[in-house]
Amino acid sequence: MKKTILILFSCVFVFGCNQDEAEKKVEKEVTKTVSKVEKEINKTVTVAHNAGFFSDACMAGDESNLILRIPKETKLLATKEVLTFSGGIVGFPMYFVEFDGKSGWVSSQSIYDAPEIIVDKSKMGKCHKIEFEEG
């Protein structure tokens, strides 16, 4: 029993330490010198579930920005990308697309092969659009 508790405590301690280091690394990456907020892209994305289609990249849980839902398996051409923290500490790209005769934003977390999220505790609160690095 003592061995089980010791092993469990060791696993929790190691995971906690590694998680803090990972968060610090990501926070440093977010604060590098950058050039612009919006990046022109030409990327086909496929919706992984009924995704929200928003009028603003700062969707931030505000349903007033929700235009409609895009059905699962829909292929879309993304022409712009904006990295956002939509009111929380988790950041991810939003893609500008056209669907059903309308233009708007879809979260990268609603598509297949979504990029990794970024955790930055300093972004808590209102929506932040983060500038991209040069290059």
Mark whether 85 and 122 lie in a shared domain: yes
Listed as ranges, residues in the chain with pLDDT below 70 are: 1-36, 60-63, 134-135
Beta carbons within 10 angstroms of residue 72's beta carbon: 13
Strands 75-86 and 127-130: antiparallel
What is residue 57's predicted lDDT score, i.e. its pLDDT?
Answer: 86
Pick from 62, 69, 67: nearest CA to 87? 62
What is residue 87's predicted lDDT score, i.e. its pLDDT?
Answer: 73
What is residue 34's predicted lDDT score, i.e. its pLDDT?
Answer: 36
Question: CATH code at 125?
Answer: 2.30.30
Q: pTM value?
A: 0.68
How far apart are alpha carbons 35 and 31 in whole angstroms? 12
Q: Which residues contact 48 (CB under 8 A, 6 or more apart)?
A: 72, 110, 111, 112, 114
Number of domains in the chain: 2
What is residue 48's predicted lDDT score, i.e. its pLDDT?
Answer: 96
What is residue 88's predicted lDDT score, i.e. its pLDDT?
Answer: 77
